[in-house]
Amino acid sequence: QSALTQPASVSGSPGQSITISCTGPNSDVGGYKFLSWHQQQPGKAPKVIIYDVSNRPSGVSNRFSGSRSGNTASLTISGLQAEDEADYYCSSYTSTSSTWVFGGGTKLTVL
């Protein structure tokens, strides 16, 4: 059972925006900036799309954005495209145990 809670699924139509939440105990999401989001397209390895809550690696579309409020982080995808259909995972680091944890994952369906 993951310490980071994500909705199991979200959906949206092309062109719309969606938001995926990631909620954890204060010592995880709320207290640390090592919060990242990974996209996993079907049959492929995960790929980081957001790090440090809201930063995008080079090459990642600016349609992806991240934010945090309290102990909930959010990933927003704007201008939904068919290629965005994938599983999305948040991940955070816990310094008390020097371990990482993933959220349970959210399946995004583009209608």
Partner 1 sequence: QVQLVQSGSELKTPGASVKVSCKASGYSFTTYAMNWVRQAPGQGLEWMGWINTKTGKPTYAQDFTGRFVLSLDSSVSTAYLQISSLKAEDTAVYYCARTFFQASGSSSTSYMDVWGKGATVTVSS
Asked if 46 interacts with partner 1 (CB under 8 A), we say yes
User: CA 69, CA 108: separation in Å to the nearest integer?
Assistant: 22
Dihedral (Cα; 47, 92, 8, 45), 10-degree rounding: 20
Span of 18-26, 40-48, 65-73, 74-82 interacting with partner 1 by CB under 8 A = 40-48
Q: Could you tell me which of 66, 78, 77, 76 has the C-alpha nearest to residue 29? A: 66
Asked if 64 interacts with partner 1 (CB under 8 A), we say no
List 7, 33, 68, 71, residue binding partner 1 (CB under 8 A): 33
Question: Are the C-beta atoms of 57 and 48 separated by less than 8 Å?
Answer: yes
Q: Which of the 8 DSSP states describes residue 41?
A: -
Q: How many residues bind partner 1 (CB under 8 A)?
A: 26
List 18, 28, 51, 74, residue binding partner 1 (CB under 8 A): 51
Site for partner 1, rule CB under 8 A? 2, 33-34, 36, 38, 40, 45-48, 51-52, 55, 57, 87, 89, 91, 93, 98-105
